[in-house]
Amino acid sequence: MMVLKRQTDKTSAVVRAIIIFLLFGLVNDQLKAQSPEFPYSLNQFKLRNGLEVIVCEDSSLPLISVVVAYAVGSINDPENKGGLAFMMQHLMFQGSQNVGSMQHFIYIQNAGGELNASTTFDKTFFYETVPSNQLGLVLWLESERMNFLEINEAKVARIKEMMLTNAQQRNLQEPYDRYFFLMDQILYPDFSYGHSPLGNEESINNITLDDILAFYRRYYAPNNAIICISGDVKVEKARELVTKYFETIPRGAEQPSYPAAGFAAVYSSRDQTIIDPLVSTPALEFGLRLDGSSPEELPVLRLFEYLLINGKSSRLYNQLVNRQRLALYLSGNLEKRRAFITLKIFLLANNQAMIALSKKLIVEQLNKFKVELVSDRELNRAKGRYRFDFLSQLTTTNQARALTLVEYYLDRGQLPDISYELAAINKITPSLLLLLARKYLKEGKYCFLTILPR
Amino acid sequence: MKLAESLRFKYWLAGLLLFSFCFSALLSQERFRRNPPYPDPLNPMKFPPVESGLLTSGLRIVTMTRLNRPLFNLLIIVQAGENDSPRQLSGLATVTAQMLLRGTLSLNSSALEEQMETLGLSGSIEVRADYIIYSFSFLEENLESVLRLVGTYFYEPAFSTQELSAVKRDLYYKQVARRKDPEKSGYDFFLLKLFAGTGYNPAVIDEESIRNISQKDVVSFHQRFFRPNNSIVVLDGNINLNNASRKISQAFSRWTAHPVERPPVPVVDNLNYQAVSFLDLASPDVSVLIGNIVSPLGSEDYYDLLVLNQLIGGSPSSRLFLNLRESKGLAYYAFSHLSFFKNNGLFWIRVKTSPQLVDRVVMEVMSQLNFLLEGKIDPLELEKAKAYLAGNFPLENQLPQEMAKRISLQFVFKLPPNFWNKYYENLLAVSSEKVQLAARRYFTRQPLIVISGDFQASLDSLKKFERIEVYDQEGQLKATCEKGVVRNENR
């Protein structure tokens, strides 16, 4: 059994403890003023080891949600070892020095709580919601696996087997999944950006215990993590507990910058048709990478997403599902991978002819944004929905709020200013949308995948 | 010299003390990591202030006042459900409920959707045996516009034939897909068996009857049941009862009252189910459903049943999951549930397994039920179950619409006003004796066992059963199987 405890410099830990004791309350602290849209106080501080902490007080229910996020995801998978970040997520439940394998689940469940985890392109989240009297338990569990995780060959073998079995089942039960990853490879022709976060049989089998240990030591460190506590707790109490459980965890190495993307500029395979005996219904995937967008353009792009595909009265839903009844199912969104934003659309149709018509209609609708101004009425509708969704995420449950805050912080290095965000959406005009459409909607970059049953 | 030595000694002593202090602090830090911390005392959940009043139209208004929230929830409960659909028109309640959101006399379906999105209004419909719940969430600033819009759904629905066809088609395909799922179709079959001969429809829809539903049927169902005097409006947000009543009475002023008659719902008795029922359908997996009728929501037994359910199968830390899945590897999952209808409750177990393991699964479930009847419940296990329920209660209410729904059901099921606020008090009073008494009340008779999956593939594991009745997907008896010997029924 390999114990992954980092070496603690005991003397410096003591000195640090004394300094922190003396400076308590003077650590980088920030209190966000309440706004009518966001009636909760937001506090932020940083431990000496670099761990960022966000506390959001909401005493409306005796509940607490804790999100621990690490700035690591599939982009950090080594070449030929795709799936490592996802495997690490599973291994984080396999026990640490003082917590037995899978006991993390049992502790949370016995308290009546819920837990989950997820791995994205560049982040890994672990989250729990428990009655508020159990905050100490959650922080104890999270600190255990942040620094005292125990991994051995047997645990790795078990997780590999589980990942491979799940992949087989997914191939059978969700046959379109593999084409989502194929579209990623077309849009991001580069291992770091374009490979499947789930890995494949070969890449999963390539991963060794040493790879995992190195990955854990490198990325699962307090200075590469952020904790958000949202719910029925006072910031003083949260600070006391976070300090107790996390302060003595040693800082890890400085994190390298993100791997640079080496995309080819040519879209050579941007329209493909694939025959697959495992699918039962014809499907169409669309992808468009919006290269070079600036952070200021993000709200405009979000609104564009609402106008195009988000909601039953969006242009594509209205045309493809309601009016022309070409699509049996339609979904789509804007996906962000660091500096890159991608528009993705997926639909199912009854037959190949309907797929062809859908394809034509998508192109028409996208191109329409480049030549016609969106009406005020349509724009206001999109703004209404955006505003509702944005506030709903931040105010409905502690968990949704904590996840939103953490994600925002990891992306932008600061907490959201709710009033500013909403005002930015309100300022968007039809001409701004037209300009943006002309800049990004280049027909030569539209990528299509048609998937047909045999 | 002596002074210097004395000073040196003092510094040395001070250093030693400081070192001991720091070292012990470090040791204690290490010690606290060894065990989970003791929790602070549980902070019981308190519901926001609930007020209720009646408009002159008979419409009940309920407010749940929550300050400082930018979003509102609006629930409208119509006290009619699938049990009120005529037998040959099962699905009528569901179709009618959905048609209300498919256009009004002044706004067609797409204009209505557009209007909803402009107001940031998202909505859902839940149709049960005894009631229909419309649930909407929206921004506080749009409260009056939303009420005006939603009011029109109820007093001037268009019921266009084109939309009716679309709603019927969607429901039909949803039901067809449901039929193919062994657990869902098994559950429907299970419900039909339990309520057979009572005249009560526990919201099982026969997809073939959907075709028979006409515009006239929908209009008639709406006129009969969708009345203010048969409905409840719950408003959850930054508002009090007076304000809510004023705004709702304005918005719903054209919704007219009319006497509503509904036949009484029978109280169903448990039978002694000697034969196992097998619903034969093509599937690689098998679902096993076992259960019985229990008392309704709010009965004296409610909290005892809640703990009983948690002990046996309420969560992955309950007996069924730990025994069937974790210890013996007999099932993909195994859970139990409590569901409630008007005047009746239902305790049911669901297990997903493979065809080869059916007999062992049924035996294991029955041995767990027998343990509750005859065994001695470990006090620690009981306390763990109660602790889970106490801790989980606020999680069940964390979604605002779920909390509003819980409050609305208080009115539908005519529960005492303080029913949910006494949750912890009543939960703490549950003892192992009470749980065992409840178990004996409902499980002394043989519970209903329904197995849903591929009969031929399961045959080897069915030889231990005395008698199995095999049904086709239409629910018709097609064969019997006694100790593994199959006899086809002549039809």
Convert the pLDDT of each residue in B283-307 to its tens digit.
999 999 999 999 999 899 999 999 9
Cα separation, A390 vs B120, whole angstroms? 11
pLDDT at A266: 57
| Cα distance from N-terminal residue to C-terminal residue, chain B | 118
CA B271 to chain centre: 24
Confidence of residue B122 (pLDDT cuts 50, 70, 90): confident
Q: Which of A34-38, A250-254, B335-339 has the highest mean pLDDT?
A: B335-339
Residues 6+ positions from B258 with CB-CB distance below 8 Å:
B223, B227, B229
pLDDT at B20: 54
Confidence of residue B491 (pLDDT cuts 50, 70, 90): low
Q: How far is CA B39 from CA A32, A107, A122, A130, A240, in A?
A: 29, 12, 34, 11, 15
Cα separation, B51 vs A137, whole angstroms? 37
Give pLDDT tens digits for A89-118: 999 999 999 999 889 999 999 999 999 999
Six-digit token string for A242: 């976070």
One-letter identity of residue B196: A
Specify the CATH number for A27-246; select among 3.40.50.1010, 2.60.40.420, 3.40.50.2000, 3.30.830.10: 3.30.830.10
Cα separation, A321 vs A315, whole angstroms? 10
pLDDT at B265 over 50: yes
CB neighbour class for B43 (10 Å; exposed up to 12, middle 13-18, buried from 19): middle
Six-digit token string for A317: 């839903």
The tally of CA atoms less than 13 A away on the side-chain side of residue B420 is 21
Classified as helix, coil or strand, A292 is coil
Give pLDDT tens digits for A346-399: 999 999 999 999 999 999 999 999 999 999 999 998 998 899 999 999 999 999
Confidence of residue A261 (pLDDT cuts 50, 70, 90): confident
Cα separation, A308 vs B254, whole angstroms? 37
Whether residue B117 and residue A109 make contact (CB cut-off 8 A), yes or no, is no
Confidence of residue B12 (pLDDT cuts 50, 70, 90): low
Contact present, B62 and B408 (Cβ < 8 Å): yes
pLDDT at B70: 86
Chain B residue numbers touching A134 (CB-CB < 8 A)? 39, 391
Whether residue A112 and residue B393 make contact (CB cut-off 8 A), yes or no, is yes
CA B227 to chain centre: 26
**Closest to B235 (Cα-Cα) out of B148, B135, B153, B152:** B135
Paired residues of B452 in beta bridges: B279, B287
Cα separation, B57 vs A225, whole angstroms? 58
pLDDT at B367: 95
pLDDT at B7: 57
Tell me, which fold does domain A271-452 have in CATH? Cytochrome Bc1 Complex; Chain A, domain 1 (3.30.830)
pLDDT at A102: 85
Instruction: Compute φ and ψ for B330, nearest 5 degrees.
Output: -95, -15
The pLDDT of B354-376, averaged and rounded, is 94
Closest CB to B137 among A36, A39, A392: A392
The CATH superfamily assigned to B276-488 is: Metalloenzyme, LuxS/M16 peptidase-like (3.30.830.10)
Question: Which of the residues B46, B68, B109, B137 would you substitute to probe the A interface, choosing the one with the greatest number of A C-beta atoms within 10 Å?
Answer: B68
What's the whole-number average pLDDT of chain A?
Answer: 89
Cα separation, A245 vs B458, whole angstroms? 52
Scanning A72-101 for CB atoms below 8 A from B yields 97-98
pLDDT at B486 over 60: yes
Contact present, A137 and A239 (Cβ < 8 Å): no
**Closest to A248 (Cα-Cα) out of A55, A92, A47, A67:** A47
Six-digit token string for B324: 């069937």
pLDDT at A22: 32
* Chain B nearest C-alpha distance from A184 (Å): 31
* Chain B nearest C-alpha distance from A393 (Å): 11
pLDDT at A57 over 50: yes
Chain B residue numbers touching A248 (CB-CB < 8 A)? 29
- Indicate the helix (H) or strand (E) that contains A275: strand A271-275
| Lowest mean per-residue pLDDT among A21-35, A123-137, B370-384, B389-403 | A21-35
The pLDDT of B60-85, averaged and rounded, is 94
Q: Which of A98-102, B242-246, B418-422 has the highest mean pLDDT?
A: B242-246
The pLDDT of A136-158, averaged and rounded, is 96
* Chain A nearest C-alpha distance from B194 (Å): 31
pLDDT at A49: 97
pLDDT > 90 in chain B, percent: 82
pLDDT at B67: 85
The pLDDT of A36-55, averaged and rounded, is 92
* Chain B nearest C-alpha distance from A418 (Å): 12
The pLDDT of B255-276, averaged and rounded, is 92
pLDDT at B436 over 50: yes
What's the whole-number average pLDDT of chain B?
Answer: 92
Closest CB to A133 among B42, B121, B139: B42
pLDDT at B341: 95
The pLDDT of B120-137, averaged and rounded, is 94
Confidence of residue A340 (pLDDT cuts 50, 70, 90): confident
**Closest to A85 (Cα-Cα) out of A119, A52, A111, A40:** A119
* Chain B nearest C-alpha distance from A388 (Å): 5
The two domains B50-251 and B276-488 share their CATH topology (first three levels equal): yes
Confidence of residue A339 (pLDDT cuts 50, 70, 90): confident
pLDDT at A30: 44
pLDDT > 90 in chain A, percent: 72
pLDDT at A229 over 50: yes
Q: At CB < 8 A and 24+ separation, what contacts does B322-331 make?
A: B323/B364, B323/B368, B324/B351, B324/B353, B324/B361, B324/B364, B324/B365, B328/B360, B328/B364, B330/B357, B330/B360, B330/B361, B330/B364, B331/B357, B331/B361
pLDDT at A20: 35
pLDDT > 70 in chain A, percent: 91
Cα separation, A403 vs A226, whole angstroms? 11
pLDDT at B287: 97
Using the Cβ of A397 and the Cβ atoms of chain B, whether some distance falls under 8 Å is answered with yes
Nearest residue of A to residue B21 by CA position? Answer: A14
Chain B residue numbers touching A398 (CB-CB < 8 A)? 398
Q: Where are the beta strands (DSSP E) in B214-309?
A: 231-237, 276-280, 286-294
Q: Where are the beta strands (DSSP E) in A301-440?
A: 327-337, 340-349
User: Could you tell me which CATH class the domain B50-251 is placed in?
Assistant: alpha beta
pLDDT at A15: 34
Nearest residue of A to residue B48 by CA position? Answer: A60
pLDDT at A190: 86
Chain B residue numbers touching A61 (CB-CB < 8 A)? 45, 394, 397-398
Q: Is the dihedral of CA A189, A192, A194, A200 positive or negative?
A: positive
Locate the domains of chain B by residue range.
Answer: 50-251, 276-488
Whether residue B39 and residue A111 make contact (CB cut-off 8 A), yes or no, is yes
Confidence of residue A35 (pLDDT cuts 50, 70, 90): low
pTM: 0.88
| CATH 3.30.830.10 segments of chain A | 27-246, 271-452
Confidence of residue B490 (pLDDT cuts 50, 70, 90): low
User: How many contacts does A have with B, using Cβ atoms within 8 A?
Assistant: 144
pLDDT at B17 over 60: no
Contact present, B104 and B157 (Cβ < 8 Å): yes
Whether residue B315 and residue A109 make contact (CB cut-off 8 A), yes or no, is yes
**How many other C-beta atoms lie within 10 A of the C-beta of residue B419?**
18
Using the Cβ of A367 and the Cβ atoms of chain B, whether some distance falls under 8 Å is answered with no
The pLDDT of B333-360, averaged and rounded, is 96
pLDDT at A29: 42
Whether residue B22 and residue A144 make contact (CB cut-off 8 A), yes or no, is no
The pLDDT of B370-383, averaged and rounded, is 92
pLDDT at B2: 52
